[in-house]
Chains A and B, each alone.
Chain A
């Protein structure tokens, strides 16, 4: 079946095909409905949009530049490569785009407290930042294991006035942090707004986070038209939960000539038990409020994800991605820890930009595809975050002491 548009989802119950939906406990259902209703009102309210636009410009620093990566292009000797520089945003990644949007909604709903889950700490830092900016109480749930691995971000969140609550349940990593955030939310439904860090969770979160992130793709469209007078041939982004990828892709989904590549984290390899590639190596299931592809065993128990990049280290993916995968609109590929590490170093040396390990997965795929493509083939990479946070991980992987 061919569709008129890939951009009309989700349906009113939050389904993208059979994925998405609202799989949360009954206590949360009225609140989840309320979030949806308030969100639909907010995005039609000129005052809300005006404030969002203002903060996007003067607080985040938007629009982020579209940058021609000339030396990398020369080095690879094929396609012409552009970077959409989300790493230049305030707090150093695209996460701030949806954190600002959600905190404005929280404020509008009269909530006095926000909570978030975080793995590497980027979404936690973005949430702590906007909570400080709006004077809201903030609690960030973070796996005890991740707290040890990401001390600088833990301290950042504390400086920003957030309480970082160590999560010891389950396996004490990102998925368990999300469980504990849900447990907190259900206990504090009256005053608390849950700022989810990706395009997952119960409806309306996958739609709402996507809408806030779509500014990436809308800007890219205008910027590439200004630079090249035409749309790009390929878009590339890394995908864990999938917020930066959907943000870049969504405004281009109906442009049939624009190919899209979402790069999952293959960890030690998708044929090993240490990866985070939910589409390549997972199957349909229900977790954290939505039906999507999950890493799970035969019995439906969730398996821990692995990636060198903590931001991709999640055993699920946003439901709209699964739908786009099954429709064949977006190509889901993967890159290993080692490939990402090489791409990370190449980007540092050829462009003078230290990319996040997450974004380095996207770059790793470009390194594979660009050399065989003609010089007039235009690729845009979503450089979703900066890599300063990753230098300790990279040093360790390279066997160097800092």
Chain B
């Protein structure tokens, strides 16, 4: 069984939803980023999305855009991102890692080489935000063959017809983008999210994770009460930014502050009561 399926099953047995965190690989530098990554499971992250930095993240808001630019400036690259996953796997065999980003760095690395190296490093899933179902076969087929899930995204603009396209070929889980917009922007209401999750779950047996606009333990908790997973990205990435001095170097205690904040978010998710029949 894949790490993702195993994780969702284990949490189901516990009767709670998953807490998913996002950070950008190499932000603000390789060592600090690896320290955060290694600390995330202990701070309560059930699944980790690791951003592959790209110069032109056109689906992301300012927080994650700046994180990508910081990572690149500090020498971030696909090679380093995969190396980071490999180092993480030395101590952690169970926390799923989903690489998230844009297609060009993957394509430039070479799809076959990427799939081979990602598999070897211990990557479990991919979210490529500018690779819609119409274009994803060239990556999805070899990735799936290697046991890596390619996560599909559903959005508030997905009508029933579109949802059919999105779910056909989906694996791992479905990522519901809760608002039409970029990361770190507006928040959706819990009612809207609950309705959307219900609509998606009527058409698939895959778990549904919800992200975009979730930035407090309370919000994470309410989303966790109506979905299989709540994803927090920009708010965590902003904590990294807040922990840097004017030159962009990590101030003392930055890593601990990021992990403390993560712990609070995780508590929000873990204290949430799943609504009957939601998950």
> Is B269 an interface residue, CB under 8 A from the partner?
no
User: Cβ of A287: which chain B residues have Cβ within 8 Å of it?
Assistant: 56, 104
Q: Contact at A299–B108, with CB atoms within 8 Å?
A: yes
- Asked whether A21 and B135 contact (CB < 8 A) given A26-B166, A170-B69, A300-B109, the answer is yes
Q: Map CB proximity to B onto A137-174 as digits: 1 under 8 Å, 0 otherwise.
A: 00000000000000000000000000000000110000
> Is A353 an interface residue, CB under 8 A from the partner?
no
> Is A350 an interface residue, CB under 8 A from the partner?
no
Q: Which residues 52-107 in B have Cβ within 8 Å of A in the complex?
A: 54-62, 65, 69, 72, 77-79, 102-107
Which B residue's beta carbon lies closest to that of A168? B62
Which A residue's beta carbon lies closest to that of B69? A170
Q: Contact at B158–A26, with CB atoms within 8 Å?
A: yes
Q: Which residues 277-293 in A have Cβ within 8 Å of B in the complex?
A: 284-289
Q: Map CB proximity to B onto A295-318 as digits: 1 under 8 Å, 0 otherwise.
A: 010111110000000000000000
> Is B254 an interface residue, CB under 8 A from the partner?
no
Q: Contact at A23–B157, with CB atoms within 8 Å?
A: no
> Is A391 an interface residue, CB under 8 A from the partner?
no
How large, as a class, is the contact surface on chain A? 35 or more
Q: Contact at A300–B107, with CB atoms within 8 Å?
A: yes
User: Cβ of B79: which chain A residues have Cβ within 8 Å of it?
Assistant: 299
Q: Contact at A29–B132, with CB atoms within 8 Å?
A: yes
- Asked whether A302 and B55 contact (CB < 8 A) given A27-B180, A30-B158, A187-B182, the answer is yes
- Asked whether A186 and B180 contact (CB < 8 A) given A29-B162, A176-B56, A302-B56, the answer is yes
Tell me which of B72, B78, B103, B186 contacts A286 (CB under 8 A): B103
Q: Contact at B77–A22, with CB atoms within 8 Å?
A: no
- Asked whether A300 and B108 contact (CB < 8 A) given A26-B166, A27-B156, A31-B157, the answer is yes
- Asked whether A187 and B129 contact (CB < 8 A) given A26-B153, A27-B156, A179-B57, the answer is no
User: Cβ of B208: which chain A residues have Cβ within 8 Å of it?
Assistant: none
> Is A175 an interface residue, CB under 8 A from the partner?
yes
> Is B134 an interface residue, CB under 8 A from the partner?
yes
Which B residue's beta carbon lies closest to that of A299? B77
> Is A183 an interface residue, CB under 8 A from the partner?
yes
Tell me which of A187, A189, A190 contacts B185 (CB under 8 A): A187
Number of interface residues, chain B, beta carbon within 8 A: 45
Q: Contact at A186–B72, with CB atoms within 8 Å?
A: no
Q: Contact at B106–A300, with CB atoms within 8 Å?
A: yes
Q: Contact at B135–A23, with CB atoms within 8 Å?
A: yes
In the bound complex, what is the Cα–Cα distance between A316 and B128 (angstroms)?
Answer: 21
Q: Contact at B104–A286, with CB atoms within 8 Å?
A: yes
Q: Contact at A30–B182, with CB atoms within 8 Å?
A: no
> Is B181 an interface residue, CB under 8 A from the partner?
yes
Q: How far is the CB of A201 from chain B (nearest CB, A)?
A: 11
Q: How far is the CB of B212 from chain A (nearest CB, A)?
A: 10
In the bound complex, what is the Cα–Cα distance between A169 and B78 (angstroms)?
Answer: 22
Q: Map CB proximity to B onto A1-32 as digits: 1 under 8 Å, 0 otherwise.
A: 00000000000010000000111111111110
Q: Contact at B180–A22, with CB atoms within 8 Å?
A: no
> Is B247 an interface residue, CB under 8 A from the partner?
no
Q: Contact at B130–A299, with CB atoms within 8 Å?
A: no
> Is B131 an interface residue, CB under 8 A from the partner?
yes
In the bound complex, what is the Cα–Cα distance between A182 and B181 (angstroms)?
Answer: 10
- Asked whether A169 and B162 contact (CB < 8 A) given A26-B154, A302-B55, the answer is no
- Asked whether A300 and B177 contact (CB < 8 A) given A26-B155, A179-B56, A183-B58, the answer is no
Q: Which residues of B contact A (CB under 8 A)?
A: 54-62, 65, 69, 72, 77-79, 102-109, 129-132, 134-135, 152-159, 162, 166, 177, 180-182, 185-186
Closest 6 CB pairs of A and B: A300-B108, A300-B105, A187-B181, A179-B58, A26-B153, A27-B155
Q: Can you list 11 pairs linking A and B with CB atoms under 8 Å apart? A: A26-B132, A27-B157, A27-B177, A30-B159, A183-B58, A183-B60, A285-B107, A288-B58, A300-B78, A300-B104, A301-B54
Seed contacts A24-B132, A182-B58; 16 additional CB < 8 Å A-B pairs: A23-B130, A24-B130, A27-B59, A27-B181, A29-B157, A30-B157, A169-B62, A183-B182, A186-B182, A187-B180, A189-B157, A285-B108, A299-B108, A300-B108, A300-B109, A301-B72
